[in-house]
Chains A and B, each alone.
Chain A
Amino acid sequence: MKSAPFEYVRPKSVAEASVALGRRGATTAAIAGGQSLMPMLGLRVALIDLLVDISRLDDLKIVAKTPDSLWLGALTTHATIEDGKVPDMFNGLMRRVAGQISYRAVRNHGTIGGSVALADPAADWPCCLIALDASVRVAGRGGMRMERVADFIHDSYATTLTTGDIIMGFDIPAPKAAFCWGFAKVARKSGAFAHSIAIATSQGKGGPISVVLGAAGPRPRPMTATATQLGVLGSSEEQLRTAIAADFDAHFTDLDAYQKRLHTANILRAVKDMRAQ
């Protein structure tokens, strides 16, 4: 578990970091908390020439709340969110999600930006940010760009990040009405990567409902048929199960019978918790 040799730089600005990450002829990686990258370097599944330490860039630590949205800088750690040290606009959803990630010592360093940049199919933040319809702001060679997280992650461990790109942070729109949520996660042990993550949210009576399922395929996907069915007053569990099955057919075609039962149960748990709030 020793990494192969690499060069190390600690740029003073985002622009400088972007230039370093784009160094010609070199395989580069940015490191923030390093809680996923370090094991990957140790196992040598990631082989790099140059490590760019972005962990001290103040521009990536900005946290700001406006009436319309919450901005979380890419370097915001899971523990910071868990401890309620950043504003909460979502009735405790993000605190709950953060507190379930890995172990405390890892949450002390792991960042929301790093989690989304890696785009592990079983990671928590991609699922949560998609459920909250968040957008990601990226600095790169072509200047700044904003993308919905749902579009930014396009496959397993695959994002639209290209050479020299750095995630600045996330713009998360404030809920329009009373926000209710359910978060359900199945993992072999606490802190382990999930076998299923389901997040259900609603905004006020008759307002928009969303259900997102993670760890079920290459990337988290909105369960649109399920959300629509939930909006129908007096829906039975049978109807809900039918809608969930339709969403599996649309977005998660590789699931076997056991996985379908697991994810269905997990979604129903999240929905129940959302309705109970």
Chain B
Amino acid sequence: MTAITIELNGVKVNDEVEPRQTLADFLRDRCGLTATHLGCEHGACGACTVVVDGIATRSCLTLAVMSDGRAVFTLEGLRGDPVMTLLRRHFHESHALQCGFCTPGMLMTARDILQRHVHPNAEIVRHELSGQICRCTGYANIVKAIVSAGQEFEPGTGSAPAEKAIHFDGG
């Protein structure tokens, strides 16, 4: 077992892990943070996407030991995040989900898209979503939700630095 310290959703977590344990399994099994879903477990489906030190990361392709000393945000930790609040509303209004399995990864990736592209059009969103697999929706409403959220989103106003924008509420 190896001792690690991770700043998880703004709270310092100390634990001991087996080196082979992925960050995804650590989040779900050790920390009970089950918003991070595991679909393919080899980087193809994107359901397990989290934020590590500010960048989108496949938690199934990262070891918990390699995240030692890093700041990790899961969907649970982004409840108060203004970008996520906006996306959640547009996902609701556009009916951008059916079974919901892929949704956490879609939301994490959508947030990353809005932070890197100003008012992304459908073509950009489709290309950026090519690493996220949804088996229900045919993607049309997911793309619509992200495009419409992007039209409302002004970079710089709602995208305050993560540590200021995000409030951990213990969920």
Q: What residues of chain A have their CB less than 8 Å away from a CB belonging to chain B?
A: 1-8, 10, 31, 34-35, 38-39, 41-43, 51, 53, 55, 79, 102-106, 108-109, 189-191
Set of chain A residues within 8 Å of B20, measured between Cβ atoms: 2-6, 41
Set of chain A residues within 8 Å of B40, measured between Cβ atoms: 1
Partner of A35, one of B61, B63, B112, B116: B61
Known contacts A6-B19, A38-B43, A105-B49; is-contact A31 B131 (Cβ 8 Å): no
Q: Can you list 14 contacts pairing A with B, beta carbon distance less than 8 Å? A: A2-B25, A8-B2, A8-B19, A34-B61, A34-B63, A43-B42, A51-B63, A79-B55, A103-B46, A104-B116, A104-B128, A105-B46, A106-B43, A108-B56
Set of chain A residues within 8 Å of B25, measured between Cβ atoms: 2
Asked if A190 contacts B130 (CB within 8 A), the reply is: yes
| Closest 6 A/B residue pairs (Cβ) | A103-B131, A1-B41, A8-B19, A39-B42, A105-B56, A38-B61
Set of chain A residues within 8 Å of B19, measured between Cβ atoms: 5-8, 51
Q: A6-B20, A31-B63, A104-B128 are in contact. List 4 more A-B contacts (CB 8 A).
A: A5-B20, A38-B61, A42-B41, A51-B63
* Size band of the interface chain B makes with A: 20 to 34
Set of chain A residues within 8 Å of B60, measured between Cβ atoms: 1, 38, 42
B57 → A minimal CB distance (Å): 6
B112 → A minimal CB distance (Å): 7
Q: Which residue among B43, B49, B109 has the maximum number of chain A CB atoms within 10 Å of its CB? A: B43
The dominant DSSP class at the A interface is loop
The dominant DSSP class at the B interface is mixed
Asked if B131 contacts A106 (CB within 8 A), the reply is: yes
* Chain B 105-128 per-residue mask, 1 if CB under 8 angstroms from chain A, else 0: 000010010001000000000011
Q: What residues of chain B have their CB less than 8 Å away from a CB belonging to chain A?
A: 2, 18-20, 22, 25, 40-43, 46, 49, 55-58, 60-63, 65-66, 109, 112, 116, 127-128, 130-131
Partner of A103, one of B18, B55, B66, B130: B130
The CA-CA distance from A1 to B3 in the complex, in Å, is 23
The CA-CA distance from A103 to B41 in the complex, in Å, is 15
A55 → B minimal CB distance (Å): 7
The CA-CA distance from A189 to B56 in the complex, in Å, is 21
Set of chain A residues within 8 Å of B66, measured between Cβ atoms: 31, 34, 53, 55
Partner of B58, one of A5, A43, A79, A106: A106
Set of chain B residues within 8 Å of A31, measured between Cβ atoms: 63, 66
Q: Which residue of A is nearest B53, CB measured? A: A108
The CA-CA distance from A51 to B20 in the complex, in Å, is 9
